[in-house]
């Protein structure tokens, strides 16, 4: 039924070792022989069996990528960076979606390891002890991308989430705002939730602005929750003159809530966020937002992984990539 290397060998009148050499581009084959073999391969429609190859060579030339949420544009962008570099170094990548569930993440990590990937890229989610445990049992290198573990025991590539939101809030402060609301993500989420919240507090503190509990609302990263949170702020007696949202979507929700209340952005209330996703330019006014280098995070982490897989030395264990605030139209002077 299936054509094996042995069939090709017979067809070409050579040994299977020679066929293997041809398939693997080993130079020690007479051009004529090579030609014969290629013809036989063509005639028989031979397709190498990567599973057998992986078993024999103990290498699969594939790296596993666990992506926490396939429908999140940011992660998709990271994945693109990973892929481009992987292709460059002749690795296949297999993407496994973990659907934002921790147990699925663990399961997927193990599946990937069982599949004998040559390396593992863990994207996004929170890194718990259970994760660390799973990584420890791995005999192949692991790189965290767009996330990091608390103790930095595992190589990682990420941005400084706290600094990113600090910079966002600082821009508001620099525009004269002192009553600044925050629409946060869940504080249980270390990167997007807690770090951004903490950056917000830090920025206030740096400017000597007292923290006001009423100025913080927790959302779920989505548009609707941005609307809800903003409505709350709007109803406040002493409402904020500027709002910082942890994601673009929530920021857009906030903008619409403001507009629905008959107020204007940024004239009445300024809005800023972190993400700089494509939708940031798809609102009126266009959204000022902190850009994170998602593609680069993917690219750098894949490059790091190739070094690790090659047992090359790496200059660092933890890479922090710079972010950038993209000024558009949603922030104005107080």
- Give which of 280, 278, 292, 277 is closest to 331, Cα–Cα: 280
Residue 110 Cβ vs DNA, minimum distance, rounded to whole Å: 13
Residue 158 Cβ vs its own copies, minimum distance, rounded to whole Å: 20
Select the residue interacting with its own copies from 249, 287, 293, 309 (CB under 8 A): 249
330 touches its own copies (CB under 8 A): no
Residue 5: which of DNA, its own copies, none does it interact with, CB under 5 to 8 A by kind?
Answer: DNA
Comparison of 40 and 280: residue with beta carbon closer to DNA: 40
H/E stretch holding 84 reads: helix 73-88
**Residue 202 CA to chain centroid, in angstroms?**
25
Residue 71 Cβ vs its own copies, minimum distance, rounded to whole Å: 4
Q: What is the gyration radius of the CA atoms in the chain, in angstroms?
A: 26
Comparison of 118 and 228: residue with beta carbon closer to DNA: 118
- Give which of 179, 167, 284, 274 is closest to 234, Cα–Cα: 179
Binding mask 19-58 for its own copies (x = CB under 8 A): --------------------------x-xxxxxx-xx---
Q: Which tokens sit at 209?
A: 């602005």
Residue 73 Cβ vs its own copies, minimum distance, rounded to whole Å: 6
Residue 85 Cβ vs DNA, minimum distance, rounded to whole Å: 23
d(CA 4, CA 66): 33
Binding mask 253-272 for its own copies (x = CB under 8 A): x--x--xx------------
Residue 63 Cβ vs DNA, minimum distance, rounded to whole Å: 18
Per-position DSSP letters for 265-317, written without gaps between them:
TTTT-EEEEEE--GGGGSSSSPPEEEE--HHHHHHHHHHHHHHHHTT---S-S
Residue keyed to tokens 């409402």? 239
Residue 94: which of DNA, its own copies, none does it interact with, CB under 5 to 8 A by kind?
Answer: its own copies
Residues in the chain: 334
Bridge partners (DSSP) listed for residue 92: 62
d(CA 220, CA 132): 27
Q: Which of residues 141-180 bind its own copies (CB under 8 A)?
A: none
Assess whether the previous peptide bond of 285 is cis (omega < 30° from 0).
Answer: yes
Residue 95 Cβ vs DNA, minimum distance, rounded to whole Å: 24
Comparison of 158 and 248: residue with beta carbon closer to its own copies: 248
Region class of 275: left (phi > 0), else alpha (psi between -120 and 50), else beta: left
Residue 282: which of DNA, its own copies, none does it interact with, CB under 5 to 8 A by kind?
Answer: its own copies
Residue 13 Cβ vs DNA, minimum distance, rounded to whole Å: 7
- Residues of the shown chain interacting with DNA in the complex, contacts defined by CB under 7 A: 2, 4-6, 13-18, 20-21, 23-24, 27-30, 32-34, 46, 48-49, 52-53, 55-59
Comparison of 18 and 277: residue with beta carbon closer to its own copies: 277
- Give which of 246, 180, 239 is closest to 218, Cα–Cα: 246
Q: Are 41 and 72 contacting, i.e. CB atoms less than 8 angstroms apart?
A: no
d(CA 237, CA 267): 19
Select the residue interacting with its own copies from 70, 234, 261, 325 (CB under 8 A): 70
**In the complex, which residues of this chain contact its own copies (CB under 8 A)?**
1-2, 45, 47-52, 54-55, 60, 62, 70-71, 73, 76-77, 79-80, 83, 92-97, 99, 110-111, 113-116, 137, 139, 223, 249, 252-253, 256, 259-260, 278-279, 281-284
């Amino acid at each position: 039924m299936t054509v094996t290397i042995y069939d090709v060998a017979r067809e070409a009148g050579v040994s299977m070792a020679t066929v293997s050499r041809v398939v693997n581009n080993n130079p020690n084959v007479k051009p004529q022989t090579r030609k014969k073999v290629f013809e036989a391969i063509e005639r028989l429609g031979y397709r190498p069996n990567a599973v057998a190859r992986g078993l024999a060579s103990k290498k699969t030339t594939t790296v596993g990528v666990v992506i926490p949420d396939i429908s999140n544009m940011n992660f998709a962008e990271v994945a693109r960076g990973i892929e481009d570099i992987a292709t460059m170094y002749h690795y296949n990548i297999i993407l496994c979606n973990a659907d934002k569930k921790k147990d699925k993440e663990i399961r997927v990590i193990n599946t990937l390891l069982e599949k004998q990937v040559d390396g593992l890229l863990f994207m996004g989610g929170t890194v718990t002890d259970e994760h660390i445990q799973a990584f420890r049992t791995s005999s192949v290198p692991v790189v965290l991308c767009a996330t990091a573990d608390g103790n930095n025991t595992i190589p990682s590539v990420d941005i400084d989430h706290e600094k990113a939101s600090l910079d966002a809030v600082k821009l508001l402060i620099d525009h004269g705002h002192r009553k600044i609301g925050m629409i946060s993500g869940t504080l249980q989420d270390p990167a997007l939730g807690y770090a951004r919240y903490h950056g917000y507090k830090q920025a206030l503190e740096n400017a000597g602005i007292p923290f006001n509990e009423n100025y913080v609302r927790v959302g779920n990263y989505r548009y609707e929750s941005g609307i809800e949170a903003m409505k709350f702020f709007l109803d406040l007696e002493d409402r904020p003159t500027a709002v910082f949202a942890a994601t673009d979507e929530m920021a857009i929700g906030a903008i619409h809530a403001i507009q629905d209340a008959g107020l204007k952005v940024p004239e009445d209330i300024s809005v800023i966020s972190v993400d700089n996703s494509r939708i940031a330019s798809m609102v009126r006014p266009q959204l000022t937002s902190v850009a994170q280098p998602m593609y680069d995070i993917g690219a750098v982490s894949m490059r790091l992984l190739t070094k690790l897989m090659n047992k090359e030395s790496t200059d660092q264990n933890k890479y922090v990539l710079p972010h950038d605030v993209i000024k558009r139209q949603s922030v104005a002077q107080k």
